[in-house]
Amino acid sequence: MDRFSRLEFGDEAPQKGPFSGEPIRDADYFYKEAMKYWLGGDYELALRNYSRVLECDQTRFEAWAGQVLMLVELGEYREANLWADKALGFFPEHPELLALKAIACARDARLDQAVAYSDNSIAKDNPTPWVWLARAEVFLNRKSPISESCLSKAVGSAGELAGVIKLEAGRLLQRKRNFVLAAQYLKEVVQMLPKSALAWYELGRCQAALGLSDAVQSFEQSVRLRPGWEQAQAELNKVQNKGFFKRLLGK
Amino acid sequence: MKCARCQFENIPGRDRCIRCNSILGAVGAAIEVYPPRMPAWRKPFRDFMRWLRSHRVAGPRVATDRVRQGLARVGSDPFVGLVVSVVPGLAHLLRRRFREVSLLVLAWVILLASGVFLYGSGIGFLLIGLAIGLHAWIALQFGLFKEIAGFAERIVMTLVIVAVLTLLYRGLPRLLFHGYTGAHTALTIPALNVQAGDYLLVRRMVHAPERLPRGALVLVHPSRFRNSRRDVLDDERTEMVGQVVGLPGETAHIRDRVYVVGEEVLDPARFPVPEWLQGQSWRVDVPVDSYFVSSPYRVMGHGRRLTDDAVQNVSIFAADDIRGRAFMLWWPLSRRGFIE
C-alpha cells in the first residue's frame, strides 16, 4: 500500500477492475446464468434467470425465446404457446418464435398446428438452426424421412451454436429412440460443452439404452457437475445395479 | 438505432423497427416478464388429454398398409361402411368425418340409455325403437343414399336395415348379458310389493338349483308341463313368472282360500292363491326334485272342478325346468329395487 492511497480526491469513485468485487448483475450476467442452468438441466432456475434478463432489458430476443423453450422443457406447452404469442407481439413473425410454437404443439400432440407453425417459420428468410430443428421434430413425430435432412441442416447452419444445437438434436433423437445417432451427436456435444451436466446426462441415457457400460461414467460426470441432481442420481443407481444382459437388452 | 433482428438503421428515438416492427428499446409501460405457470393439479389431466390426442393422431398414420387399405375401403364402399356402422358413427370416425354425425350419435346414446333405464315400460320400448331408427339413419348417412337414387329402393333399403338392426338389438343383449333376462309377471304379491304387469329381472339358472326357498319368484316354461297338460292349460306364454309354494316331498292343498303346506298355513299376503285355484278342492304331493309353483295360468273351462291330477300337471315343475330366479323389480320405476 503506498502512502497516498487513502487520500480523497473530490467525488470520483475509484475505478474497479474487471475482477474486483461482485459481478455487475446486468442482462448479460443473467443471460449467462440462464444458459448455465439450462445446460445444467435446471429449467426452473434457467427460466427465472431469463425473466431477470428481461427485467433488465426487454429487447433481448434470446431471453424471450429462452423463456418459451424452458416452458416447453418443463412440459407447460399451453403456457409456452401463450408466452410465445406475447413475444411475437414484440417480435412480429419472428421465425424462431414460430418454430418454438411448433415444438410446443408437436410435444403437446397437436401435430396439425405444429406443421402449420413450422411451415410458417420455414417460409421466412434465412431460417435459423432452431427453425430446422423444430421442423425435424415435427417430421420425426410424423415418421417422415424429411426429418433427417432437417436435422443435418440445423447442425450445418448452427455456427457458434453448434454445441447447443447438437445437444438438442441428440435429445430429440434420444426421445425418438434413435439412440445410436443420438449418442454420436451427444459425444460431440460433451467435447464442445464439457461442463454441461445435461449433455452428460443425455449421453448416459443413450448409452444405457444401448447397453454400454460407459453410461456409468457419463452419469457420474453429470452428478459431479450438478451435485444433488435426483434424476441423474437415480439413473446412475439404476445403471450401476444392472447386469450385462439387462443392460444389453435395455431393460 | 440498428435493429438487432433485421440490421435496419432506424431513426433515433423510435420504439420499433420500421422494417420488421421489432422493439428497439424499452417500451413505455411496464410489461410482465414472468410467464404464466401451470398449476400442478392440471398436469395429470393435460397428460391424459395429450395421451388421447397422440393415440388418435398416431393411430391411422402409423397403421399398416393393410389397415390403411381397409380404412380406404370403408370410405369408398358404402356397403362396407354400412357393415362397420354396426357401431353408430364408427364408419364416420374411421374416415375422420365423425363431426357430421356427432350430434346424431349423442342423441342415439341418450335414447338408448333412456330406453334401457325405462325398459319394461311402453316408453322404454318406444325409446329403444327410436334409437334403432336413429342408428339406421346414421348408417344410411354413410354414402348409401348417394348410391341408391330411387325413392322406393331407399325405402326398401331403410326397412331392411331397420329389420337387421332390430335383430341385432334383440340378439346382442342376450349375448352380452347371457346369464340374465327379464319377464313381466302376472302375480300380485302384496308382501313383496309385486303387482301384476311388473317387469322383473331374472338371473338364469344353467343347472338345476340345489334347493329353492319357499316364496322365491322363478321363471318357468309352460311347455315343459307334463302330459295331458293341454286338457287344462290354455296359456300360450313361453316363459312366465311363478312363486315357489311347495318344496320337494311336501304336500300342498288349499283351505279357506289359503295355501296349506304340510300342516303349515301360509300367509296369504305373501303366498296369494291364484284365481283359478280358488274354490277348488285338491291335494298335491310334490315329488322329489320338483316344486309346486303357483302362477295365475289361464286354464280351460274356467270355473270347472279340477282334479288333483290336473292341478299337479300344471303346477308341479321338475327342478330342471326352472329357468331362472327373479332378483330385481325393474319396472315401474317407483318400486324399483331388489326382491328380498
Which tens digits make up the pLDDT trace of B176-228? 888 888 888 888 998 888 998 899 999 988 777 778 899 999 998 765 554 44
B2 in contact with chain A, both atoms CB, cutoff 8 A = no
A105 to chain B: which residues are within 8 Å by CB? none
Return mean pLDDT, chain A. Answer: 87
Domain ranges of chain A: 160-251
CB distance B106 to B89 below 8 Å: no
What is the percent of chain B with per-residue pLDDT over 70, rounded to a whole number? Answer: 84
Instruction: Determine, for residues A67 and B23 on separate chains, whether the beta-carbon distance falls below 8 Å.
Output: no
> Which residue on chain A is closest to B53 by alpha carbon?
A109
Which of the two residues, A201 and B22, has the higher pLDDT score? Answer: A201
**Residue A132: Cβ-neighbour burial (10 angstroms; 0-12, 13-18, 19+):** buried
Which of A143-152, B53-62, B73-82 comes out lowest in average pLDDT?
B53-62
B37 to chain A: which residues are within 8 Å by CB? 76, 79
Instruction: Determine, for residues A109 and B57 on separate chains, whether the beta-carbon distance falls below 8 Å.
Output: yes
Average pLDDT on B160-183 reads: 87
Q: What is the pLDDT of residue B227?
A: 43
A79 in contact with chain B, both atoms CB, cutoff 8 A = yes
A28 in contact with chain B, both atoms CB, cutoff 8 A = no
The separation between CA A47 and the C-alpha centre of its own chain, rounded to angstroms, equals: 11
B5 to chain A: which residues are within 8 Å by CB? 61, 91, 94
B43 in contact with chain A, both atoms CB, cutoff 8 A = yes
**Cα–Cα distance between A4 and B304 in angstroms, integer?**
142
Angle at B286 between CA B283 and CA B291, to 5 degrees: 120
Residue B63 has pLDDT above 80, yes or no: no
Task: Place B27 in a pLDDT band, splitting at 50, 70 and 90.
Answer: low
**CATH T-level topology, domain A160-251:** 1.25.40
Task: Place B59 in a pLDDT band, splitting at 50, 70 and 90.
Answer: very low
Which of A13-27, A120-134, A172-186 comes out lowest in average pLDDT?
A13-27
B27 in contact with chain A, both atoms CB, cutoff 8 A = yes
> Which residue on chain B is closest to A52 by alpha carbon?
B33
**Cα–Cα distance between B313 and A42 in angstroms, integer?**
87
A120 in contact with chain B, both atoms CB, cutoff 8 A = no
Residue A73 has pLDDT above 70, yes or no: yes
Q: What is the pLDDT of residue B231?
A: 53
Q: What is the pTM of this model?
A: 0.52
B38 to chain A: which residues are within 8 Å by CB? 75-76, 78-79
Residue A59 has pLDDT above 70, yes or no: yes
Task: Place A251 in a pLDDT band, splitting at 50, 70 and 90.
Answer: low
> Which residue on chain A is closest to B32 by alpha carbon?
A55
- The residue of B1, B38, B45 whose CB has the most chain A CBs within 10 angstroms, and thus the best one to mutate to test that interface, is B38
Instruction: Determine, for residues A67 and B35 on separate chains, whether the beta-carbon distance falls below 8 Å.
Output: yes
Q: Spell out the alpha helix ranges (H) of A176-229.
A: 179-192, 197-210, 214-225
Q: What is the pLDDT of residue A21?
A: 67
- The residue of A76, A112, A140, A177 whose CB has the most chain B CBs within 10 angstroms, and thus the best one to mutate to test that interface, is A76
**Cα–Cα distance between A34 and B195 in angstroms, integer?**
79
Distance from CA of B115 to the nearest CA of A (A): 38
Q: For cell 318400486, what's the residue?
A: B335
B35 to chain A: which residues are within 8 Å by CB? 47, 51, 67, 71, 79, 82-83
**Cα–Cα distance between B10 and B172 in angstroms, integer?**
76
Which of the two residues, A249 and B240, has the higher pLDDT score? Answer: B240
ipTM, two decimals, is 0.79
Residue A40 has pLDDT above 80, yes or no: yes
Distance from CA of B331 to the nearest CA of A (A): 47
